Amino acid sequence: MKVLVAVKRVVDYNVKVRPKADGSDVDTANVKMSINPFCEIAVEEAVRLKEKGVASEIVVVSMGPKQCQEQIRTALALGADRGIQVETDAELQPLAVAKCLKAIVEKEEPQLVILGKQSIDGDNNQTGQMLAALTGMGQGTFASEVNVEGESVKVTREIDGGLQTVELTLPAVVTTDLRLNEPRYASLPNIMKAKRKPLDVTTPDELGVDIAPRTKTLKVEPPAERQAGIKVADVAELVEKLKSEAKVI
């Protein structure tokens, strides 16, 4: 079966971003960009399904400016077979991304679409659910285990109370949580090979999708700073401070 994986180019998780001085946006000039960690887990899961003989082809999609081809190449180096870039320099909000993905799903007809549960820049946690809604597919969100069994997929989900397992009819959408797998590192030969794998470029226009943003960011600001605290000498002083100063115990 064919698996479609969506990946996003984001500011690397080790970078501490800051708002620009004028509060118009975050400062992303000259910061390291990477594939969103949850998307990397999505690619890894697809590659494992291929290694198990469950998946036959892995198509990886990314949306955004030309540079997001780097993240597509990363996914190709990890084992995806071909890439699709939806090129645009405009701001893409999750609903628009879901609509573009829907158009690609209609063309490619994958049996499984795997996405990260959230991207670590916008922290929205929406795209997979919205794609599932628009295509009428079932959604296995926040997955920590995925088992394809014939015409369906069993997904174990990380929920607030513990774990929940659901069974979805294929085709279906899965979004990854952190414990689904540990992504491999791409080997140098595979990075070289990835350069020759096919990568098609399309646009939201060609897909017939209106990507006009529905929300506007009026300003960004740093969160309230915590006041610097003190170091206590020992447990006795800690307990004393918590009792008489902070009055929380």
Ligand X SMILES: Cc1cc2nc3c(=O)[nH]c(=O)nc-3n(C[C@H](O)[C@H](O)[C@H](O)COP(=O)(O)OP(=O)(O)OC[C@H]3O[C@@H](n4cnc5c(N)ncnc54)[C@H](O)[C@@H]3O)c2cc1C
In the shown chain, the binding pattern of residues 219 to 248 toward other proteins, with x for contact by CB under 8 A and - for none, equals xxxxx--xxxxxxx-xxx-xx-xx---x-x
Exactly one of 2, 12, 111, 122 binds other proteins (CB under 8 A); that residue is: 122
Rounded Cα distance between 212 and 122, Å, is 17
Q: Is 35 helix (H, G, I), strand (E, B) or coil?
A: strand
Rounded Cα distance between 39 and 128, Å, is 11
Nearer Cβ to other proteins, position 80 or 98?
98
Rounded Cα distance between 199 and 202, Å, is 10
Q: Which two tokens stand for residue 3?
A: 């698996």
Interaction residues for ligand X, span 23-82 (CB under 6 A) = 37
Of 15-23, 52-60, 71-79, 83-91, the segment contacting other proteins by CB under 8 A is 15-23
Rounded Cα distance between 163 and 154, Å, is 13
How many residues interact with other proteins (rule CB under 8 A)? 80
Q: How many residues does the chain have?
A: 249
Minimum CB–partner distance for residue 171 and ligand X (Å): 27
Radius of gyration (C-alpha) of the chain in whole angstroms: 21
Exactly one of 17, 90, 192, 201 binds other proteins (CB under 8 A); that residue is: 17
Could you tell which of ligand X, other proteins, none binds residue 214, using a CB distance below 5 to 8 A set by kind?
A: other proteins
Nearer Cβ to other proteins, position 8 or 117?
117
Minimum CB–partner distance for residue 203 and ligand X (Å): 30
Q: Which two tokens stand for residue 41?
A: 């887990």
Rounded Cα distance between 248 and 151, Å, is 55
Nearer Cβ to other proteins, position 31 or 191?
31
Query: Dihedral (C-alpha) 119, 85, 196, 75: value to the nearest 10 degrees?
Result: 10
In the shown chain, the binding pattern of residues 4 to 23 toward ligand X, with x for contact by CB under 6 A and - for none, equals ---------x----------
Interaction residues for ligand X, span 119-178 (CB under 6 A) = 120, 178
Rounded Cα distance between 99 and 38, Å, is 20
Minimum CB–partner distance for residue 50 and other proteins (Å): 24
Minimum CB–partner distance for residue 13 and ligand X (Å): 4
245: number of Cβ within 10 Å: 9
Could you tell which of other proteins, ligand X, none binds residue 32, using a CB distance below 5 to 8 A set by kind?
A: none
Interaction residues for other proteins, span 145-204 (CB under 8 A) = 154, 157-169, 172, 177-179
Kindly provide the b/e burial profile for residues 6-27, where b requires at least 16 CB atoms within 10 angstroms of the residue's own CB: bbbbbbeeeeeeeeeeeeeeee
DSSP designation for 151: T
Minimum CB–partner distance for residue 36 and ligand X (Å): 8
* Residues in touch with ligand X (CB under 6 A): 13, 37, 120, 178
